Structures are given as C-alpha cells and as structure tokens.
C-alpha cells in the first residue's frame, strides 16, 4: 500500500517531523525538532486538535530559540478510528502522512515493553526512515478526497443493511424451526398473510408470543428492505446520469463489460479506483490480495493472502473472478487461469481464483484509469 505522492527532499535543519500516537484519553507526541535532541521532544497532550496546534507552535518556538526556524512541518499518525482528520492539519500548512498500522515493524521479543510513548517513538523512527527514501519500511494509506469518502458511505451502508437483512431472516427461520414450521419466506410481499396461515409441526397455530416476536422482526425487516431499496435507487441513478462526475464515468465504463453489474462497479470505484495508486502492486496490496510466503531455511510454504487490506474490495473481487470465468471465457485472465488449473481439484481452483481476482483487479483499474482495454473481454450489447 505505497503512498503515491512524491515526497520533496527534507531539510532537517528547517523541518519539524512529528509522530502522533492517538487514543481516547491522550495524544502522545514524538518529534524531531531542528536544533534539539529527540529525547527532549516527547510530550503528552489532551486529545484535541487545538492542543496539538499549541504543541506544534511550542516546538516551533524552541527550534527558533536554537537558531533553526521551522519552515516545514511533517506529521504522521496510524490509520484507525480517528479517520482522515488530516484535512484539518493540511488546512494549517502541515504535511500529513497516514500509516497503515500493521505495516509498522515491531520488536519480536515475547515480553516487549509497550506504551504510548514507545509507540510514538517507533512511529517517528519509521516515518524518518520512510522520508529518507525507504518505501518498504512501512505502508502509507492512500487518502481519498472528502467527497469520495462521503460517497462511499452509501455503498458501505447498503452492505450493512444486507447483513441486517440476513440476520433478521435467519432469526425468523430459527423461531419457526423450533416449532416445526417450514416453507416460509419472510422476503415475499405476502409475508404477513402467510404468517397467519402457518402451522406448527403438530398442526397447531403459531403460539402467540412467538407470533408477536416474528411480527416485530418483520417490522424491522420491512424497514431494512425500504432503506436498501432507497440506496439502490441512488446507486442506479449514478449509472444512468448523462453528465456524471469522474467516479460516475468509471462506474459507467465498468458496467459496459459483461459480467459486471452496477453494485460490483460501484464498490470497485468507491472503495478503490477513486484513490491514487503508484502501480498495480500497490493496488493489490490495498485489496489484501497479496501472497504471504514463508520461505526460510528448509521451510518453504505458502500461507495464503495477507487479508490486511480493504475487506469489501477483496470480497467483491473474488466474487467477480468466479463470474468472469462464466461471462468472459475468452478474456486473457480466464485463459491464464484455465491453463494453470487444468483438471485439478476444487481446492486448487479456490486457491488460484484469488490470483485471478488480483490480476483482474489490476486490469480493471488500468481500464478505467488509462483506458487500456482488457484483452479478449467482451462488452455488453448496446441497447
């Protein structure tokens, strides 16, 4: 997950480098201040942005007193619950880089000391190494634009509602299973009428308390179904608009390919393609579709994919990889997959489909970003 932004050379005599360890109770700062040693540049502040500005101005004052006025401030923090509030820092002329937490190297001793202060110092050392031009020391999270980040909330909300729908349907089914009642689908329009007609395994009506509980679950289910329908209308409107924005154009490009529907195209664009990636390798890492080999000494084995990236993107790509074999049998990616799988068993196919998903993701990214057509792919017939 490499950061695609080109970093200007750092003049450490005029640059304040700051690492921020965030928590609910306090923020710990570790800084390299021009003219001062690192051991004197660590402090704890209240968890709010105004106190952070006060601390940064304090570092500026100390650097100026040492004869090294600060002309550039570089800050870093780990991605997490705090979101991308770096936009507020950027508005105050502070350069910000967001680190992917799992990419920061840590001490491997069984009983290692851990505190917010130690973590802040580790983050500072990692940031300094990255600024020196060591891209492999950590991964920087590609930061979406504010409008793109807001637009993807609809995609994620629909996924959450679909999960709620599945949960409610399963709970209704569990109640009826204990009563011996079957052949009931709560997703049908006639759900209320058919509920009153249901009988238990003994031929009796559904008991009143169970009936009341199912009715309440149906009320919640109906609300979820309405909200899903509203989100899908908004989603489909983007695909049909005559003057779409850049993200809308990419969605319309993708749905022209056979095997890709509006939902898959929307997830791909909102979760990945609106961000900037240096290359296909960085995109595959962001999706968590990179391999994790263990090859040391006499041991050589593959431990599967890392799964450290975007779970939603990874899920839709694996689903799309299976669909691609059906709807795009002549595509280069499918030919490559079939040559390697051949007549092997199901297990090998399930492993190799992840590699197909990664290749397909990169190919689709190049299709919408650079206009590189997927070799062998077929477009949907124009209506």
Long-range contacts of 90-94 (CB under 8 A, 24+ apart): 92/53, 94/56
- pLDDT tens for 243-301 read 888 999 999 999 999 999 999 999 999 999 998 888 888 898 888 887 777 777 777 77
What are the structure tokens assigned to 264, written together? 């898959």
Q: What is the pLDDT of residue 4?
A: 41
Q: What is the pLDDT of residue 39?
A: 52
Cα dist from 362 to 173, 287, 331, whole Å: 41, 10, 14
- pLDDT tens for 35-72 read 886 555 788 998 888 899 999 999 999 999 989 999 99
Q: How far apart are CA 209 and CA 194, in angstroms?
A: 17
Percent of the chain scoring above 70 in pLDDT: 96
Q: In 3D, which of 80, 60, 72 has the Cα closest to residue 20?
A: 80
Percent of the chain scoring above 90 in pLDDT: 54
Query: What are the beta bridge partners of residue 291?
Result: 305
Question: Reduced to 3 states, what is the DSSP secondary structure of residue 383?
Answer: coil
Q: What is the pLDDT of residue 3?
A: 43
- pLDDT tens for 174-222 read 999 999 998 899 999 999 999 999 999 899 999 999 999 999 999 999 9
Cα dist from 109 to 121, 122, 137, 140, 250, whole Å: 18, 15, 19, 25, 47
The per-residue pLDDT of the chain, averaged, comes to: 88
What confidence category does residue 156 fall into, taking pLDDT thresholds of 50, 70 and 90? very high
Question: Reduced to 3 states, what is the DSSP secondary structure of residue 369?
Answer: helix
Cβ–Cβ < 8 Å for 122, 185: no
Judge residue 273's burial from the number of C-beta atoms within 10 Å of its C-beta, 0-12 exposed, 13-18 middle, 19 or more buried. Answer: buried
Mean pLDDT of the region 126-135: 89
Q: What is the pLDDT of residue 6?
A: 60
Q: Look up the pTM and report it.
A: 0.81
What is the b/e burial string over 360-382, where b = at least 16 CB atoms within 10 angstroms of the residue's CB?
bbbbbbebbeeeeebeebeeeee
How many CB atoms sit inside 10 A of residue 342's CB? 8
Q: Which residue has the higher pLDDT, 263 or 308?
A: 263
Cβ–Cβ < 8 Å for 104, 138: yes
Q: What is the pLDDT of residue 16?
A: 93
What are the structure tokens assigned to 149, written together? 């980040």
Concatenated DSSP letters for 65-106?
HTT----EEEEEEE-STT-STHHHHHTTT-EEEEEPGGGS--
- pLDDT tens for 79-116 read 877 766 778 888 889 999 988 887 887 777 767 788 88
Cβ–Cβ < 8 Å for 20, 120: yes
């Amino acid at each position: 997950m490499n950061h695609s932004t080109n970093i200007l050379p750092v003049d450490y005599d005029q640059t304040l480098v700051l690492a921020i360890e965030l928590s609910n109770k306090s923020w710990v700062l570790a800084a390299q201040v021009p003219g001062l040693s690192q051991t004197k540049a660590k402090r704890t502040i209240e968890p709010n942005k105004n106190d952070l500005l006060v601390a940064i101005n304090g570092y500026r004052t100390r650097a100026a007193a040492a004869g090294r006025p600060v002309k550039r401030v570089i800050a870093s923090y780990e991605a997490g619950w705090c979101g991308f509030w770096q936009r507020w820092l950027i508005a105050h002329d502070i350069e910000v880089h967001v680190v992917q937490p799992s990419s920061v190297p840590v001490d491997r001793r069984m009983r290692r000391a851990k505190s917010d202060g130690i973590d802040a110092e580790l983050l500072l050392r990692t940031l300094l190494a990255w600024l020196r031009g060591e891209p492999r020391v950590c991964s920087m999270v590609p930061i979406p634009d504010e409008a793109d980040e807001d637009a993807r909330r609809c995609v994620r909300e629909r996924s959450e509602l679909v999960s709620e729908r599945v949960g409610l349907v399963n709970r209704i089914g569990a109640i009826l299973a204990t009563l011996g009642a079957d052949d009931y689908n709560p997703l049908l329009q006639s759900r209320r009428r058919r509920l009153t007609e249901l009988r238990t395994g003994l031929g009796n009506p559904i008991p009143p308390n169970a009936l009341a509980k199912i009715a309440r679950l149906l009320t919640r289910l109906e609300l979820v179904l309405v909200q899903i329908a509203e989100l899908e209308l908004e989603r489909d409107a983007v695909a049909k608009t005559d003057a779409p924005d850049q993200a809308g154009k990419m969605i319309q490009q993708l749905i022209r390919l056979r095997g890709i529907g509006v939902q898959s195209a929307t997830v791909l664009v909102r979760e990945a393609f609106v961000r900037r990636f240096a290359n296909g390798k960085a995109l595959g890492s962001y999706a968590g579709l990179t391999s994790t080999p263990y090859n040391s000494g006499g041991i050589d084995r593959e431990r599967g994919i890392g799964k450290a990236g975007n779970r939603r993107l990874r899920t839709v790509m694996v689903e799309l990889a299976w669909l691609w074999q059906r709807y795009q049998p002549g595509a280069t990616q499918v030919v490559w997959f079939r040559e390697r799988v051949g007549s092997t068993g199901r297990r090998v196919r399930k492993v190799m489909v992840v590699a197909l998903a990664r290749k397909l993701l990169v190919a689709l990214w190049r299709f919408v970003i650079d206009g590189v057509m997927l070799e062998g792919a077929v477009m949907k017939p124009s209506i």
